Structure formats: C-alpha cells, structure tokens
Amino acid sequence: MSDAAAIVVDRSDPAIAVVTIDRPAQRNAMTLAMWRALGDAFLTLSAEPEIRAVILTGAGGAFCAGADIKEFAAARTGAEAGGRYSETVERANTAILECPKAVFAAISGAAMGGGCGLALCCDFRIGDASAYLGIPAAKLGLVYGVAETRALVAAVGVERAKSVLFSGRRHPAPEALEMGLLSEICAGDPVAEAKARAEELRASAPLTIAGAKRVIRAVQPEPTPAEHAEIAALGAQAVVSDDYKEGVAAFVEKRPPVFRGK
C-alpha cells in the first residue's frame, strides 16, 4: 500500500464522512505523502454539499503519533526541503481548520506532535480513556506551524499553550480534558460517539455551521504577511540547526537529546 493510500475516506453514510489514518504499525505516523493526501481529502470533502460532518480518526488503537521522524533525513533536511515539508503540513492543517463542515477528531491512544495538531484543527476532540495528547517539538528542535499553533491557543489559552510547547509533555485524557486539549472523554468507542454527535447536527443548517466557523476564525488574530514570512524563516532556521540534528538523532537512538541552542 502506498503512503497516500493510508488516508482512507469512508462515505458509506452520505452525510457523515469518516477519514481514517491507516498506518497502524507505525501508530499512524504521517509521511509527506500522507500529509499531502490528507489535505487533498479535506479539500474534496469541503466542496461536497451533501457532506454535513467529517470524523477524523486513526486505525489500530492510536490516533496519530505525529510526523514520521524516520523520514526526516530524506524529506526534511535543509532549509528548502524543510520549507516544502512545513508547507505541506500547513496545507493539511488549514484544510481541516477551514473545512465548512463540522469536524470531529475521534481519539484513542497517541495524538502527539503533528497528530495533536491535526486534532486541534478539528472543531471537537472526543477521546477515550487511553487518549493522550502532547507536542514534543521542543524535544526535536522544531518550530510548530501557524495553523496548529493558532488552534492550540484557541483551545487552551496563551499560557497553557506555552506550557504545552515548551515542555513537550504528554497529557493523559483527564488532564487533556481539563486543559481543553480534549472536548470530552467517552466511555465507549470515540468514533461511535463522534457519529452520535454528528447525527445531532443533521437538523442544523449547513450555512449556519459554515458561517459560524468562518466568523469565529475571523475574530481570532491572524499573522500578517510579514509575520508569516518571519515564522517560515524561524522554521527553516530550525531544520538546519545542530539542535534539530541532535533531536532527530536522539529520537532514533532512543536517548535524551543534548541541546546547545545552535
């Protein structure tokens, strides 16, 4: 199976689409091709008027462990390649964030790093007791992207967003719920719970949902073009840093990283 084929869209319900990240042996870690395919899937679903809600989930007991770090040496080495990679991730997150449908994340197990970002870009995050969320960018020497950082701040506030990003900690379901990383914890299957929530919205006007999402985004601060360029430069600087190389090496070698700030 190609990496792009690991993004599976189920349209068996004509009004509720289920998008599954299907790479369970790697805890649904995202390759570059998967990021691209996920963005494509959400852009397609956004344009389909019969779709009223979308559920994003992962196969095999994990939501998404984040980006496939073992791919970084080939796909994210150097400022140019790193920039292209970041743009592809940002495109996928933005496609979810700007989807005019109600979007639910159904979370079991890991939603870490880029996986946590995907969940945050959804409107609602429903997890079971096994769910845990976190963003270990500080363990890798990476700068987190704009779309997912805006979604993080919207969910948990500025101070807690700093704590999440600075520490890289994983937050188990009860703590994630209290912080705002999760919307609710369910006793059963998160996908079934998300479908039940989506069913409740069948009676709601699609134009109201789409309009509400657009207005809510409009009242949140958006970086200026100059700030976007500055953030892109920070990301590019990070992926050519010694600390980034050390963070990736430490992850692969399963040891604590030793960062030197350069």
User: What is the DSSP track for 101-128?
Assistant: SEEEEEE-SEEETHHHHHHHTSSEEEE-
Distance separating alpha carbons of residues 109 and 170, to the nearest angstrom:
11
Q: Which amino acid is at 247?
A: G
User: Measured between alpha carbons, how far is residue 114 from residues 63, 88, 121, 199 in Å?
Assistant: 11, 12, 11, 28
Distance separating alpha carbons of residues 8 and 106, to the nearest angstrom:
15
In CATH, the architecture of 4-188 is Alpha-Beta Complex (3.90)
Distance separating alpha carbons of residues 142 and 244, to the nearest angstrom:
7
Q: Give the angle 70-165-222 at the CA atoms, nearest 5°.
A: 105
Distance separating alpha carbons of residues 83 and 76, to the nearest angstrom:
8
Torsion 203-205-209-215 (CA) sign: negative
- Most confident range (mean pLDDT) of 157-166, 225-234, 247-256 is 157-166
- The pair of structure tokens assigned to 178 is 């209290």
Residue range 64-73, pLDDT digits in tens: 999 998 888 7
Share of the chain above pLDDT 70, in %: 100
Radius of gyration of the chain (CA): 18
Residue range 79-133, pLDDT digits in tens: 788 888 889 999 999 999 999 999 999 999 999 999 999 999 999 999 999 999 9
- The pair of structure tokens assigned to 22 is 């299907």
50-81 in b/e burial notation, b at 16+ Cβ within 10 A?
A: ebbbbbbbbbeebbbbbbbbebbeebbbeeeb
From the CB of residue 32, how many other CB atoms can be counted at a distance below 10 Å?
Answer: 21
Q: Which amino acid is at 181?
A: L
Domain ranges of the chain: 4-188
* Cβ contacts of 68 within 8 Å, gap of 6 or more: 26, 29, 30, 31
Residue 76 has pLDDT above 80, yes or no: no
Residue range 39-71, pLDDT digits in tens: 999 999 999 999 999 999 999 999 999 999 888
- The pair of structure tokens assigned to 170 is 């994983």
pLDDT of residue 12: 96
SS3 content of the chain, % helix, strand, coil (to 5): 55, 15, 30
Look-up of token digits 């852009």? 43
Distance separating alpha carbons of residues 119 and 124, to the nearest angstrom:
8
This prediction's pTM? 0.93
